[in-house]
Amino acid sequence: MEYTLLLYLLILLGSLQLHFQSHGSSACLEEERIGLLKLKDSFIQANGSALSSWGVEDGDCCRWVRVSCDNITKQVVELSLNRTRPLGLGFTEGWILNASLFLPFQELQSLDLSGNLLKEDDMLSRLGTKSLKACLHHLMTCREKVKKPRCTAERGKAAEEWKLKGQRFAQRQSGYGLLEYLCIGLEQFVPILYSLSCVKSEITTLRNLESLHLGYNDMAGEIPPSIGALTSLKALSLTSNKLNGSLPVEGFCKLRCLQELDLSINNFEGNLPSCLSNLTSLRLLKLSENSFGGTIPPTLFPSLKSLEYVSLSYNHFEGSLSFSSFANHSKLEVFELDSHNNNLKGELPSFIGSSLPNLLLLNMSNNALQGRIPPSFGDMGRLDLLDLSNNNLSGQLPEHLVMGCVSLRILKLSNNNLHGQLLPKRSNLTRLFYLFLGNNHFSGEISGGLLNSSYLQLLDSSSNLLSGKIPDWIGNFKFLSSIILSKNSLEGSIPMSFCKLKRLRFLDLSSNNFIHSMPSCVNLSSLRYLHLQGNTLTGPLPNVLSTASSLVTLDLRDNKFSGRIPSWISLLSNLRVLLLKGNDLEGSIPFELCQLIILSIVDLSHNNLSGSIPYCLPSIPFGMKINFDDTFRTGQYGRVSYESYTRYSYRSQLEVGQYIVDGYSTSDEVEEVEFITKSRAESYRGNILYFMSGIDLSWNKLTGPIPPEIGHLSGIHTLNLSHNCLNGSIPETFSLLKQVQSLDLSHNRLSGQIPSQLVELNFLSVFTVACNNLSGRTPDMKAQFATFEESSYEGNPILCGLPLQRSCTTSRISPSAPPPSRSVHSDFLQAEFWWGFGQSYVLALLGYIAFLYLSPYHQRRLFGFVEARVVSYR
């Protein structure tokens, strides 16, 4: 009877609950609405704009932004709170979010907290254990109130199940050790239900969590083993944090439902756990940009047959990778294992094409792969990108590869030991956009195999052994925007067919044997980077350059250009780098140069320039305005990014097939500039160019004093005025060159003293004033000046002081003794002596002049008289 009554009450309560639930299904649950408002308070921003629409007018939280509810139960199943509190909206440092705020959401399946500046590792720990303990403490308190005589549940029973709120709740004695028995009595019925709800919210809800995104925060510490409690997880993203340590084996081994794992851009280290091979449902594995090391577990890939996306780039893996483990990976579409830190060795297997027939992207650059490129690559008909650059591959390009990879749009094989023709004649790469073959041993003329690649946008065949002329058909590539053929043995003129290239953006023909100049019909309206140095180009600077208003870099060094620097130079308003070194330019430096207000590097050295240094140069704020933009990024190609390559969530399919080349992010192909600083040639590329600034006017015929205004170039790093004919003193304003690292004023005609204030230049590492007419004492040997040797001052005969061997002391009197007193009488005698000496000197000079006007007769009489007197004195 007692059992029947108890069961009846339980059924009745369940019916009432379902009744209330069905009648309230038109809006979200009240406890979840209150919970969302508490979440809003925790996210509040300095400007009060966080989740501002929540609860203002609409009381149905299922209609609020960033909230998704189940259509039937109206319970919250998804919270998209990414970038709700990001950097730049009044916040500059991380914060801690209380994980217990998510307790009301019992059916939560997807939680996205990425990009919120969350810090510490508390979030992960609380989701697994900490907030659970508080709830369980309440449960144990409730259980103590139950009178044991009324308890009739059987001890030791493994599990009891009830239908509750349309969900099955399993109470297990052994699972968490929470309930040894279940006591149900009329007076205790409500407290026990509350306790069950508490347990459900901590265990069942967390175990129902399928998607957890905590990327792009400021979280530190290690992943706790309790992460294994989230056994329903299908997607886990912790990318772009500061997490470290090894991956917890006992935690990850339990996440058997995991389909997406993204731990990229952290500080994880150690070997990969072998138990990752147990995650047989894994489709995306992204561990790039960490410090994982050792060998890749040999059991990893043979077990993960469902993999579609793998990125292990930028770690410290070593040893060899057995491609035989990919034998049955027909689903694999993306495989990235590139990095300067990886050191994977071995050869690519001959069967790689048949093993991975659906591969879209293969990137194994920057490793130590050897041997030939297997022809079976031609079996990858869907291959979109192939990057094997920066390895030790040898041999020729397989004809089957260039015939079979009909979908290939990016081919990167630069920095290997490949030889033969640039591209086989039977090439069928009809969709090719970008071709990187630089720094190999390709020889002969530029191959006609390119003719079938009519969509070609970039051609990089630099640093090879190519010879002959640039073919006229190069102008048929109407989409071609980047031509990089530097460091070959090409010759002749730049072809007239260049006039057909309407999209030319990057042109590098440096270090060849080209003659003459550029055709006047070339369309340079889109040109941003021009490198023609190291050829035999002649004549004045071509007028066609005046139309290149978008030009950022103009490098015409080491040619035979002559004439003056033209006044149209002021039209190149976007110019940041001007390199005219090693030509035969003459005349003065035009004042129009000062109108290029964003110039950062100017090299006019080794010419025949004359006249004075323009005093207007300080109107160019060298190095003072740093604007990060796409100026020194030369194209839309580089490493693939996860966001641009795929859109994935735990409920949607991995869409790597939607990849578009135009979304391929730039990273490794950037503008590079060579400039002499600190007495040596340096190459600057990419972001460093935003910070580098310098002027080199050395080895010319410049005259006159150094304008004091030059000292106002407070942001400049290198200033070289050596080997000219400059005179006057070193301006004291040079003490304002606070950022200068290299200052060369040697081999001029400078005089006066070296300003003592120069010792305030704290970044100066190279300094020389050798071979001038400087005098006085050298600057004190302190700060940076304590590092300069005698060679910095040699060639100044009357300069004294350390580190020179000439002492500035003129007597042995002790420096502490007072100077000797001088009487008025001695001063008068000294003045009288110099006055008499001056009179005698003037009279002698006048007599000599008068002697020159004497007649020859009187000259002979005078010489005879002088000779007679000399003989008589003997």
DSSP secondary structure string for all residues of 571-613: G-TT--EEE--SSEEEEPPPGGGGG-TT--EEE--SSEEEEPP
Higher pLDDT, 454 or 191: 454
CA R_g for the chain = 40
Q: So what's the pLDDT on residue 442?
A: 96
CATH code, 690: 3.80.10.10
Amino acid symbol at 215? G
Residue 356's pLDDT band, with cuts at 50, 70 and 90, is: confident
Residue 834 is assigned to a structural domain of this protein: no
Contact 638, 615 (CB under 8 A): no
The first and second tokens of residue 476, run together, are 């048929």
Contact 307, 333 (CB under 8 A): no
SS3 per-residue string spanning 67-112: EEECCCCCCEEEEECCCCCCCCCCCCCCECCCHHHHCCCCCCCEEE
Mean pLDDT calculated for residue range 8-30 = 55
Helices (H) and strands (E) in the chain, counts: 14, 50
Q: What is the pLDDT of residues 374-392, one digit of tens each?
A: 999 999 999 999 999 999 9
Which of 152, 182, 208 is the C-terminal boundary of a domain? 208
Residue 139 is assigned to a structural domain of this protein: yes
* Residue closest to 527 by CA, chosen among 480, 565, 490, 570: 480
- Torsion, Cα 716 720 726 729, to 10 degrees, reads 50
**How does the average pLDDT of the chain come out, rounded?**
77
Q: So what's the pLDDT on residue 689?
A: 73
Which of 192, 208, 224 is the C-terminal boundary of a domain? 208
Residue 200's pLDDT band, with cuts at 50, 70 and 90, is: very low
Residue 626's pLDDT band, with cuts at 50, 70 and 90, is: low
Q: So what's the pLDDT on residue 623?
A: 66
Residue 288 is assigned to a structural domain of this protein: no
Q: So what's the pLDDT on residue 142?
A: 37
Instruction: Indicate whether 44 pLDDT > 90.
Output: no
Higher pLDDT, 664 or 542: 542
Supply the range of the domain harboring residue 720.
672-800
Residue 84 is assigned to a structural domain of this protein: yes
- What per-residue string of b and e applies to 34-53 under the rule 16 or more CB within 10 Å gives b? ebbeebbeebeeeeeebbee
C-alpha–C-alpha distance, residues 791 and 776, integer Å:
17
Higher pLDDT, 674 or 280: 280
C-alpha–C-alpha distance, residues 328 and 307, integer Å:
11
C-alpha–C-alpha distance, residues 447 and 468, integer Å:
11
Candidate from 33-47, 218-232, 293-307, 413-427 with smallest mean pLDDT: 33-47
C-alpha–C-alpha distance, residues 272 and 291, integer Å:
11
The domain total for the chain is: 2
Residue 25 is assigned to a structural domain of this protein: yes
Residue 9's pLDDT band, with cuts at 50, 70 and 90, is: low
What is the pTM (predicted TM-score) of this model? 0.75
Instruction: Give how far the C-alpha of residue 560 lies from the chain's centroid of Cα atoms, to the nearest Å.
Output: 37
Amino acid symbol at 517? S
Higher pLDDT, 700 or 668: 700
Q: What is the pLDDT of residues 421-441, one digit of tens each?
A: 999 888 999 999 999 999 999
Residue 703 is assigned to a structural domain of this protein: yes
CA distances (Å), origin 380, targets 305, 376, 428: 19, 8, 14
Which of 749, 777, 800 is the C-terminal boundary of a domain? 800
Residue 287 is assigned to a structural domain of this protein: no
Q: What is the pLDDT of residues 608-625, one digit of tens each?
A: 999 999 999 988 888 665
Q: So what's the pLDDT on residue 199?
A: 34
Instruction: Indicate whether 53 pLDDT > 70.
Output: yes
C-alpha–C-alpha distance, residues 101 and 391, integer Å:
51
SS3 per-residue string spanning 256-274: CCCCEEECCCCEEEECCCH
Residue 321 is assigned to a structural domain of this protein: no
Contact 568, 589 (CB under 8 A): no
